[in-house]
Amino acid sequence: MITVLGTGLLGAGFTRALRRRDLPVRVWNRTADKARALEALGATAVASAADAVRGAERVHVVVADDAAVDGVLEAAAPGLTQGALVFDHSTTSTAGCLRRTAEWHAKGVLYQHAPVFMGPGNAAESTGLMLISGARDLVARSTPLLAPMTGKLVDLGPRVDAAAAFKLLGNLFLMALTAGFTDMLALGQAMGVAPREVATLFEHFNPGANVPARFQRMTDADYDNPSWELAMARKDARLMQAEADAAGVRLALVPMVAAAMDRLIAEGHGHADWTILGRDFVGVTR
């Protein structure tokens, strides 16, 4: 028996995938109707978290945050036996991951954080990306159980909170990307370019292909052989801001980046590669 605690979009997707493999699944959710809706798939909805986990081979927790994980695990505790295997797929803090791992292991429960880069469709189709890290013996035991649930399971090594950290790093990149898209749409509006027209740029321009090399330039602190000088990037930011100002359109990201550029230019780095923006976080002082 497998238990899924939390049957929102992602938890429901996991349940569908498990049932497709004809595995027995119990489900629980704080909003009971969400769990009962999965009975049509052959899952068994249970009224309490403790009853849901009692006797389960493994438990999958899929909730919102640290507080929710703690609350669900406490509710489930009376049903968890010594050696119970609990996988937490929630996005949480690194501190919370470390604390829960230690606390539950002390109680004899094998808590393993395994956050995901998945949408509901990925969970249902066993695609997407899942992260894992921590004690080597537990990771080895977990791998054959988790690998069928995802397109790729990435082991980040023995650091217990590495998976939590890398999940947050990935989500930060997605936020920055969306913020960039938002400023693109705003600048397009300012210049009379419709959103669908803005999108056609990516039919020809693929910035994603340069992401690894650009990030490596930053981490290598390779600023002295510029492909795009900071001063020239700042000039372009000035042009963007002028277009927006003339149309009365607000940009969110560009002003913050421009302020960082101005600070570095004032320090004499105008001819450095513009990736010097990351200088303060790679241990290099220039």
Query: Mean pLDDT, the chain, as a whole number?
Result: 97
Examine the domain organization and report whether 44 and 143 are in the same domain: yes
Strands of 58-61's sheet in order across: 44-45, 25-28, 2-5, 58-61, 85-88, 110-113
Tell me the per-residue pLDDT of 115-166, one tens digit each, with 9 for 90 and over: 999 999 999 999 999 999 999 999 999 999 999 999 999 999 999 999 999 9
Statement: residue 71 has pLDDT above 80: yes
Share of the chain above pLDDT 70, in %: 99
Residue closest to 279 by CA, chosen among 265, 262, 264, 268: 264
Separation CA 146–CA 128 (nearest Å): 12
* Strand ranges in 34-122 using DSSP code E only, listed in sequence order: 44-45, 58-61, 85-88, 110-113, 116-117
Statement: residue 285 has pLDDT above 70: no
Angle, helices 94-106/162-190, rounded to nearest 10 degrees: 150
Domains: count for the chain = 2
Tell me the per-residue pLDDT of 181-232, one tens digit each, with 9 for 90 and over: 999 999 999 999 999 999 999 999 999 999 999 999 999 999 999 999 999 9
Mean pLDDT score, 26-39: 97
Q: What CATH number did the domain enclosing 226 receive?
A: 1.10.1040.10
Residue closest to 271 by CA, chosen among 238, 237, 226, 236: 226
The pLDDT value recorded for residue 284 is: 46
DSSP run (H or E) holding 132: strand 129-132
Examine the domain organization and report whether 111 and 143 are in the same domain: yes
Examine the domain organization and report whether 203 and 147 are in the same domain: no
Examine the domain organization and report whether 155 and 199 are in the same domain: no
Statement: residue 72 has pLDDT above 80: yes
Examine the domain organization and report whether 71 and 207 are in the same domain: no
In a domain, 286, yes or no: no
Examine the domain organization and report whether 122 and 50 are in the same domain: yes
In the three-class reduction of DSSP (H, G, I as helix; E, B as strand; rest coil), residue 45 is classed as strand
Domain hosting residue 111, numbered range:
2-159
Examine the domain organization and report whether 181 and 266 are in the same domain: yes
Mean pLDDT score, 70-98: 98
In the structure, what pLDDT confidence band is assigned to residue 38 with cuts at 50, 70 and 90? very high
The pLDDT value recorded for residue 283 is: 66
| pTM of this prediction exceeds 0.85 | yes
Examine the domain organization and report whether 104 and 229 are in the same domain: no
Phi first, then psi: what are they for 61, rounded to 5°?
Answer: -100, 125
Examine the domain organization and report whether 134 and 197 are in the same domain: no
* Domain end among 105, 137, 159: 159
In a domain, 100, yes or no: yes
In the structure, what pLDDT confidence band is assigned to residue 105 with cuts at 50, 70 and 90? very high
Examine the domain organization and report whether 173 and 153 are in the same domain: no
* Domain end among 159, 188, 217: 159
Separation CA 101–CA 119 (nearest Å): 25
* Domain end among 159, 193, 218: 159
Examine the domain organization and report whether 131 and 242 are in the same domain: no
Tell me the per-residue pLDDT of 247-258, one tens digit each, with 9 for 90 and over: 999 999 999 999
Residue closest to 30 by CA, chosen among 66, 60, 75: 75
Q: What CATH number did the domain enclosing 38 receive?
A: 3.40.50.720
